[in-house]
Amino acid sequence: MWERWAQPDGTPLDTFSVITTAANEAMQAVHERMPLILQPDDFATWLGREAPLDAVSDLIQPCQSTLLTMYPVSKAVGNVRNDSAELIVPTSAVK
């Protein structure tokens, strides 16, 4: 979910929300929640204006653990001031 709106000075600002759900089996070792991950077959239901609410609500569930690849990363990931491609390098690959 996102929205573009004008700040008081007229500058556009894009804002967004991350929809979360309960953690799947793989993610539970890291956190109790995880971002919602939709499968391509579900995009039309999620984005469609005609989908019944219960059909959309049914999509808010953890994805299959087999769809995730997890590996340890640096603790620097947890600081929003850090922003570099190096943050997603597996720590086992860092020398």
41 phi and psi angles, rounded to 5 deg:
-65, -20
Give 42-90 pLDDT, tens digit per residue: 999 998 888 889 999 999 999 999 888 888 888 898 899 999 988 888 7
pLDDT at position 72 is 83
pLDDT at position 34 is 95
For residue 62, how many other CB atoms are within 10 A of its CB? 20
Helix (H, G, I), strand (E, B) or coil at 47: helix
pLDDT at position 92 is 63
The domain limits of the chain are 2-67
Give 4-46 pLDDT, tens digit per residue: 999 999 999 999 999 999 999 999 988 999 999 999 999 999 9
Q: How far apart are the first and last CA of the chain?
A: 39
